[in-house]
Structures are given as structure tokens and as C-alpha cells.
Structure 1
Amino acid sequence: MDSVSTSPMPLALKSEGVKSGHLYIVSTPIGNLGDITFRALDVLASVDRVAAEDTRNTARLLARFNIQKPMVSLHEHNEAYRSQALVEALRQGESLALVSDAGTPSLSDPGFVLVREVIAAGLPLVPVPGVSAAVTLMSVSGLPTDSFTFCGFPPKKAGRRRRWLQALSESRYPLIFYVSPHSLMGFLGELMDIFGDRHGVLGREMTKMYEEYLRGTLSEIAGALKSREKIRGECSLMVAGRGDSEGLDGGEDMEDLDALIAKALGEGVEKPSALAKRLAARLGMDRKDLYARILGMKTDS
């Protein structure tokens, strides 16, 4: 694990304490323990109990900061029934912190059911924000981030996953996926098949010692990974939206596309079919539609 100081909290950031009957949604580091916030440590040290995705992982985190606290597990297999008991504990005045193994609870992690039950019971929720793998990747992606779609983990069944990707392929905004390392290569292949060879960025082992970022088209990213004996670590993938790439912003109109086509036609290097194929891969657009547009502009010129 990462080396990090466990010195006392600065006086300027002294404890604010917690309130009875409140559920605190606490973000924890995705790799580097130095990313934990003073407020998160304050809350974890002050609540009556911690609800954790994996109590063993959270026990190591708490021990690193000299925090001892009763814990209860809350994961995808027990969340439905355990949430009811935790809501009752909140009603009785207990203060609780909810944490996942890494990042922000309920974002592609356990917690959604409990949060929904707490809201339905009219009990108070308090977010304690911090690290999120999606935001971490966006900050270094080089892709437009004023609008985006967070997709989380893909469906496990192939048919459902392809239908899901087909629906997402029409989005003009960047898409963010969480992908397990053992399924990454297959998922990249499916993306290229359905989306075309769009630009993207892959973040692997973010904030950890061997963190890595691969940028380029999906085929370039896959090519960089293909020779590896094994892909290790948690992966986050951001993919450009439809028509959102170099020289063509997703929010602009088709005049930008026409300018790209006119420039290429003026250079006279590529045949219309080759130009359509290149632009389709670059922009994530339909090759046949592009080919028809190129022919129309070629005829008019």
C-alpha cells in the first residue's frame, strides 16, 4: 500500500463531529491513500458504525489512520435486506458512514439501495465527496468534458451488452466505462465494431505506483495492449462521442464536417471511398452516410 503520513489533523481543520441518525456517504481513495480527505477521516472516526463493501479492505484503511470502528458489510449480495436493518439503526439515532472499496459509494458500487431506502424513510443523508475514477480520468483525458455520459460497468451478457452499446453509440458526448482487466480486449473489439474506431483514453491503475494512460484511437489502444501477457489493475475508459473528435466538436454543426471534406477533396490525394473510411473511423460516424456526402460535394464542385 502507499506510504502516507498519519500525523494529527491540523488545528484549522478540527473535527466538526457527526449528527445522530445521519447516514454519511464517504468517498475513499481509488489507490493512493494520500488522496483521502481530512473530512472523510473526521467522519469515519466520529460515526458509531461503518457500513463497508468489504470490511477487510476498510479495516486496513481505518487501521492506516489509527481509526477503530465497528463495521457491518454491505455489498451487492446482502444490500437488499441489510439496508432495512441499517435504516432502523438510523431511526434509533445511530450515525453511520457508508464506504465502498474505492471511490464514491453507489456509483457502480454498492449503496444505491441503502440511499434509496434512507430517502424513502425521510432520514438525512450527508455526502462527503472525494475521489471518483470517472472524474480522475476525465481530468487528464484531453476530450471535451462540459457534457458526458457515465456508463459504469458493461452488462455481463453479450446480447444485452451489444444492445446497450448500440443505444449508446448515438450519443454525441464522451462516454465513460469501467472495465475489468480480463474483459478489456473483448470490450474494445465490441466498441470498434459498433462505434467505429473513435478516439479514447484508457486509465489503468490510476493514482497507484504503476498508473498508466493510453491515448489514441480504440484500435491504437488495443494494439498497445495486445502484446502484453496479462493486463492488470482496474481500468477506466473514456470514448469520444459520435462526431466528437479532432477538428469537429460535438456541439458544432455540419459545416465543420463539410470543411474537412472540402479540404481533403481539394488535396486530391484520397478516393471518396478511402476518405469516407478514414473520416468514419476518426469521427465515429457512419461510413455510408459520409460517402454519400462526399460524392455529393464532389459532384457540386
Structure 2
Amino acid sequence: MATATERYKSHIDKTKWYEVNGVLYPGTAERHEHIRGFPIKSDDITVVCYPKSGTHWVERILHYLTSEEALDKVQHHTSIPIEVIVPHLPKTQLEVLRESPSPRIITTHLPFELCPRESQEGKGKIILVIRNPKDVVVSHYLFHQKVNPKAWSNFAWDDFLQVFSDPDTLPYGSWFNHVKKWLEHRNDSNLLIVKFEDLKRDLTNGVSRIADFVGRPISGDLASAIAAKCQFDNVKKEGQSEKPEQGNVGISLYLRKGQVGDWKSHFTVAQNEMFDEVYQREMGDTELAIQFET
């Protein structure tokens, strides 16, 4: 009988993916060369994280920080990651960004070495969002069940957990390798690490940290006001009225619960013990402090 990993690999259409060192990424070789050569402006802000880790939540915070409008007048959009191609849209996200006014907010799930070269060289700002992998895998699985139920109807939760725990089977590779590679650049002057769980615990402080990092320091009162606007439930509610358009996929598709520790409703004791062993083996030497529950 085929393993969960073998079955997962068998249903991936590799013609839609670009392979680098055994890991699949959306797009083509030509597309990724365009990404690496994409000109970065000094005030560009790139939000990067492993899928289902809080990309669009942090993007929403940045909308408020970079807008000159009053808070209740700020326009929101949920951008498509630069590497993703949506066939029915007339323009790629790179084309949309070239036409966008500064400061531009760029989103991606790519590893450091596949990002624009000028970003790698220190131009612009990069916000790395890290979320605990137990909640990531649950969100990842339920997202796929939601957007492609037919393809995932025979793929059980336990199967996906096994695939997630294997090295570099999923598109974008494993959470472990993705985070470890980015952590190699934790001391880069243009990189800020933001943890999903820290935002949940104290969003006002998180907003202030991000504001300072992108060169837009704000008062405590304004940080509190933006935090109130960006509480996860509020963002999700607002997103239900957003209409997808060019370069904007609509945030409601991506938001579920946004909770810390929701994995406990899905993991069995045996699954949790297995995952803890994998985590310790993969991340034990990184000194990364991760909060798995409230």
C-alpha cells in the first residue's frame, strides 16, 4: 500500500510547479527569474512566511500604517503572493506591483534565496512571520479541504500530518526547513521577525514594533486604535464584504479561527507525541522560542 507521502505526490500536477532542489514552487523557471530580478524600492515592505502563518493579517496592519487616510477610510486589499499565477487574471502580481504607488506591500511564501536579489542584498524591509507549526498544519489541511474538497475528499487528517512532517514533500517544502533557512538571516538589518502568537497576546505592542521597523513610528493611542481594527475577528468580519479583483483575492478565503492552540482539537495524544519528536529533531538547535498554546 502506498504511503501518505506517495499518495500526496501522485496527485500533484508538476506542470504547474517549478522545482528547486527537490522542492516545488508555483510557476515556471522564467517566472522565478523575473521574481529574482524584480526591482525593489527602498520603501518596499515584503511580508514573508510559510503558508497559513498570518501573511494577510500582517498585511492588514501595514495598510493602516502606510495609508495617509483616516483609519475608517483606509482601503484594503488582500494581495496575491508574487510567485502565484492566477490564470483568469489579466496581469501577474509583479505587473500589478510595478504599477502600484509607494510604499508597496509585497507578500510571498518563498525562501530567502528565491526572493528578489535586491531584497537579499538589504534593500527594502522584510517582515518574517512565524507561527507555531501545529496550528499551521491544521490550518493548512482545513484550507485545502475548503478550496478543493473533491481532490482532498479521500485524504485524511492523519495522512496530511504525516506528509507535513516529512521533509520537503509539500509545495514550498517543509515548515521546518523554510523557517530554519530564514532564521539564518535573523540578524539582517532589513529583517524583522514577528510571531503570530505574540500578535495574539499583545497586538498593540506588535503594531508598534512593526511601525517602528518600517520607519513610521506612531503614538500609543494610534497603535491601540489600529490594533482594535486589526483584531482577527474584526478583520474576518470586514473581509466577508470584500470583492476579489485584480491583484486582490479577498481576505475571507484565507481566514479561519486565528487561534493559538486550536491544534489540540485535532491532534491525538499519539500524533502530538510524534510531532514533538519531529519538532525537537528539526528545530532543537535553532533556539527558536515557539508558543504552542495559550
Query: What TM-score do you get using the length of structure 2 for normalisation?
Result: 0.28
Richer in helix (by share)? 2
Which one scores higher on RCO, CA 8 angstroms, separation ≥ 6? 2
Q: Which has the larger radius of gyration?
A: 1
Query: What TM-score do you get using the length of structure 1 for normalisation?
Result: 0.27
